[in-house]
Chain A
């Protein structure tokens, strides 16, 4: 379980995240939603130790992240940020191999290769495993990065807007993979999403942030609701049930 206790972060005078406390359940998909500048990405980055918190504690399976060795944490929790520009020229396979670094420190064993091949197969990348990243489309590249995170084989997987710049087809593809990761492999997926309907269709829990604070959290059905969404986004969103999913209509 990830436990966040009274965590704050401020840049200059601006409080980006303010006294946030939160429990994230194992084996489920939890989405962070909220307007721009709500502090979703900052919170995610603090949970994954990419940025330091000003105050508060974050426990992962009972251990405070500031006191853990970085390499041990890398076997427990992985993060993928929204922009993944890499300066060096890598093939898909090279990239996925990097995911094994916490275990192999650069010298891959048979076991490591098994994980790499599995991750590539899982993300359906076999055909392009020897292609260079700069030859791939946005969706393929994103899948390659997710394959790297999979090879890292961590209990917790954090993704910061993984659907950014992807078309509908690829977005759905990525979300389905994340769902499979949670259902089949029991991974805990924490994800920042902008589209409430993706959050609604794929997540088990939703955490809504606004102005650096959590204003609502709960099961998906509780959050995808006209009243609650108005509170979060300050706009009227009609919620309809289509099939078994609750869909918010906010385009007009």
Chain B
């Protein structure tokens, strides 16, 4: 059984590398020195955010024991849009576009992490609250942020709104090198930190009571994993825009393909699927649609079709 898994992971890895290679070397016209580094940067951003989204969604679903949730449910995406809209609403679009990239990035990440931190702090202080209560509060905040964004978007100048709208979709087209470096460092630190909790994931998927029975320091572990998820989500959203939609798809495809409960296989699998989907999607956006659509649209379309296929194919248990 294990060999089977390794074969699958290897195939996925090959697929990802093949797609990356195609993306890098397809129709290199003109100077290689100019084209390749720019494409590499995109690939780096994709690998980084794709990996972060896949990992956070997988872990989030394990913690909540629910295969249809994504971390966006705690309202981080909505907060991101609120921050963008707020900046345009108060300072005008020139500020948003002209603002120093690093400052903007750090501000956005900072606010998102702060929000998640405060949310957790308040929720976890009340002992015995279950995680679904946290999610419920998250949904309410998300809706609140969404409504506030809409309110401001309605009031601003239509031209300004276009700038905001541009931020509403994930884009790998203008990734800043400095930000990429910062993100790489943050995510490397997170990865090093989170390693110690990896062994608990399989047990956590049995549910809280079994996990406690088997000696997992449940509250301690879950709290830390949730913080890690918030940071990863914040960094990747601030880097390329809201792309949490990807997580749900990727996590479920990973479950379907791998058919195991072992996170040692599921997590690498979902990260590879995520990278393949993003690189493939970006390639189609650039070459087929020549930038006339966004990668969110492509992924959502393919993902939606795949989901319907899954539902129709299996009358038995999908989840």
Chain A interfacial positions (CB closer than 8 Å to B) = 48-52, 69-75, 78-81, 84-90, 94, 98-99, 101-102, 105-106, 134, 152
Cβ B203 vs Cβ A101 within 8 A: yes
Looking at the assembled complex, report how far the CB atom of B251 sits from the nearest CB atom of chain A, in whole angstroms: 13
Contacting A at CB under 8 A, from B48-68, are 65-67
Cβ A88 vs Cβ B205 within 8 A: yes
Cβ B214 vs Cβ A101 within 8 A: yes
Cβ B214 vs Cβ A81 within 8 A: no
Cβ B213 vs Cβ A79 within 8 A: yes
Cβ B202 vs Cβ A106 within 8 A: yes
Q: Which residues of B contact A51 (CB under 8 A)?
A: 128
Task: Knowing A71-B215, A98-B214, A152-B214, say if A81 contacts B67 (CB, 8 Å).
Answer: no
Cβ A50 vs Cβ B205 within 8 A: no
Q: Does B310 contact A (CB under 8 A)?
A: no
Q: List 10 A-B contacts (CB under 8 A).
A: A48-B213, A49-B212, A70-B218, A71-B217, A87-B207, A98-B203, A99-B214, A101-B214, A106-B202, A152-B214
Q: Which residues of A contact B317 (CB under 8 A)?
A: 134
List 17 additional contacts besides A99-B214, A102-B214; criterion CB under 8 Å.
A48-B213, A52-B127, A69-B217, A70-B217, A72-B215, A73-B215, A74-B213, A74-B214, A74-B215, A79-B209, A79-B213, A80-B213, A86-B207, A87-B319, A90-B261, A98-B210, A105-B199
Looking at the assembled complex, report how far the CB atom of B279 sits from the nearest CB atom of chain A, in whole angstroms: 29
In the complex, residue of chain A having the shortest beta-carbon distance to the beta carbon of B67: A87
Cβ A88 vs Cβ B261 within 8 A: yes
By Cβ-Cβ distance, the 9 closest A-B pairs, closest first, are: A74-B215, A71-B215, A102-B215, A88-B261, A101-B214, A106-B199, A70-B217, A87-B65, A70-B215
Contacting A at CB under 8 A, from B194-243, are 199, 202-203, 205-207, 209-210, 212-218
Looking at the assembled complex, report how far the CB atom of B211 sits from the nearest CB atom of chain A, in whole angstroms: 9
A135 to B288, CA, bound (A): 47
In the complex, residue of chain A having the shortest beta-carbon distance to the beta carbon of B208: A50
A29 to B206, CA, bound (A): 28
Q: Which residues of A contact B207 (CB under 8 A)?
A: 85-87
A86 to B8, CA, bound (A): 25
In the complex, residue of chain B having the shortest beta-carbon distance to the beta carbon of A158: B213
Q: Which residues of A contact B206 (CB under 8 A)?
A: 86, 88, 98
Q: Which residues of A contact B213 (CB under 8 A)?
A: 48, 50, 74, 78-80, 152
Chain B interfacial positions (CB closer than 8 Å to A) = 65-67, 127-128, 199, 202-203, 205-207, 209-210, 212-218, 259, 261, 317, 319
Cβ B199 vs Cβ A50 within 8 A: no
Cβ B261 vs Cβ A89 within 8 A: yes
Looking at the assembled complex, report how far the CB atom of A123 sits from the nearest CB atom of chain B, in whole angstroms: 17
A101 to B65, CA, bound (A): 19
A81 to B261, CA, bound (A): 22
Contact of A70 among B127, B202, B209, B216 (CB under 8 A): B216
Looking at the assembled complex, report how far the CB atom of A47 sits from the nearest CB atom of chain B, in whole angstroms: 12
Looking at the assembled complex, report how far the CB atom of A14 sits from the nearest CB atom of chain B, in whole angstroms: 14
A152 to B209, CA, bound (A): 15
A99 to B210, CA, bound (A): 9
Cβ A87 vs Cβ B212 within 8 A: no
Looking at the assembled complex, report how far the CB atom of B153 sits from the nearest CB atom of chain A, in whole angstroms: 39
Q: Which residues of B contact A74 (CB under 8 A)?
A: 213-215
A74 to B127, CA, bound (A): 22
Q: Which residues of B contact A94 (CB under 8 A)?
A: 261
Looking at the assembled complex, report how far the CB atom of A31 sits from the nearest CB atom of chain B, in whole angstroms: 20
In the complex, residue of chain B having the shortest beta-carbon distance to the beta carbon of A152: B214
Looking at the assembled complex, report how far the CB atom of B205 sits from the nearest CB atom of chain A, in whole angstroms: 5
Q: Which residues of A contact B259 (CB under 8 A)?
A: 89
In the complex, residue of chain A having the shortest beta-carbon distance to the beta carbon of B261: A88
Pick from B127, B210, B215, B218 the residue with the most CB of A within 10 Å: B215
In the complex, residue of chain A having the shortest beta-carbon distance to the beta carbon of B201: A106
Looking at the assembled complex, report how far the CB atom of B203 sits from the nearest CB atom of chain A, in whole angstroms: 6
Looking at the assembled complex, report how far the CB atom of A144 sits from the nearest CB atom of chain B, in whole angstroms: 13
Q: Which residues of A contact B214 (CB under 8 A)?
A: 74, 98-99, 101-102, 152
A73 to B217, CA, bound (A): 11
A48 to B261, CA, bound (A): 26
Q: Which residues of B contact A87 (CB under 8 A)?
A: 65-67, 205, 207, 319
Q: Which residues of B contact A50 (CB under 8 A)?
A: 209, 212-213
Q: Which residues of B contact A81 (CB under 8 A)?
A: 209
